[in-house]
Structure 1
Amino acid sequence: MATTTIQVSRETRDHLASLAAERGLTLGQLVQQLAEREPTREQIAERLKADREVARRNMGVEMSDEEFDRAPDVLGNIYRIAAEKVRAARDDAA
């Protein structure tokens, strides 16, 4: 595999080196892992398209991308409801 050099500040290099050492990785391996975790805009768009196709198939309803964009944030609402229930359970326990 071909390698290349990336120029960063000394502080950034030292921070990355510390992270790599903590994880038992080389600096190159750490940078590769970090890069693999961060999708590009194109990859995000591809995932969104695929996710919407799955939703359309599972719902059995044709929705345009514009309709998806205007739809409520269902997952966000689920997280909000779950957080409210956790807070209520903590209050009840106290």
Structure 2
Amino acid sequence: MATTTIQVSKETRDHLATLAAERGLTLGQLVQQLAEKEPTREQIAERLKADRDVARRNMGVDMSDEEFDQAPDILGNIYRIAAEKVRAARGEAA
């Protein structure tokens, strides 16, 4: 694998070196892990498209992207309903 050099402040370098040491990694391995955790705009758009395609197939409807953008927070509502059911099962007040 080809390597390259990046320039950062000494404080940033020292911070990254400490994080790498705490995790038993080289500085290069740490930077690679951090970069892999942050998707690019293109990757986010690809994931969104794939997620919407799955939702369309599972719901059996052909919603446009504009309709998805204007739809209510379905996942948030599912979490809220699930939390309410858990609290009710435990006998807790909502």
Runs of 4+ in structure 1 off by over 2 angstroms are 76-94
RMSD: 2.8
Contact 2:17 2:27 in 1 (8 A): yes
Residue-by-residue CA offset, 1:6-36 (whole Å, 9 max, x unaligned): 1000111001000000000000000000000
Checking the alignment, whether the CA contact within 8 Å between 2:16 and 2:27 is kept in structure 1 is: yes
Q: Name the CA shift for 1:89/1:13 in 2 (closer, same or farther; >3 Å).
A: farther
Alpha-carbon deviations, 1:38-82, whole Å to 9, x = none? 000000000000000000000000000000000011222334556
In structure 2, C-alpha distance between the alignment counterparts of 1:62 and 1:51, rounded to whole Å: 13
Number of equivalenced pairs: 94
Does the aligned pair in 1 maintain the 2:87–2:93 contact within 8 Å?
no
Using the TM superposition, give the Cα deviation of residue 83 of structure 1 relative to its aligned residue in structure 2, in angstroms: 6.2
- Percent identity between the two aligned chains: 90
The Cα shift of 1:85 comes to 7.5
Scaled by the length of structure 2, what TM-score is found? 0.84
Distance 1:7 1:67, change over 3 A: same
Mapping of residues 7-46 of structure 1, within 5 Å: 7-46=7-46
Q: 5+ unaligned residues in a row in structure 1: which ranges? A: none
TM-score (norm 1): 0.84
Separation (CA, whole Å) in 1 of partners of 2:86 and 2:15:
36
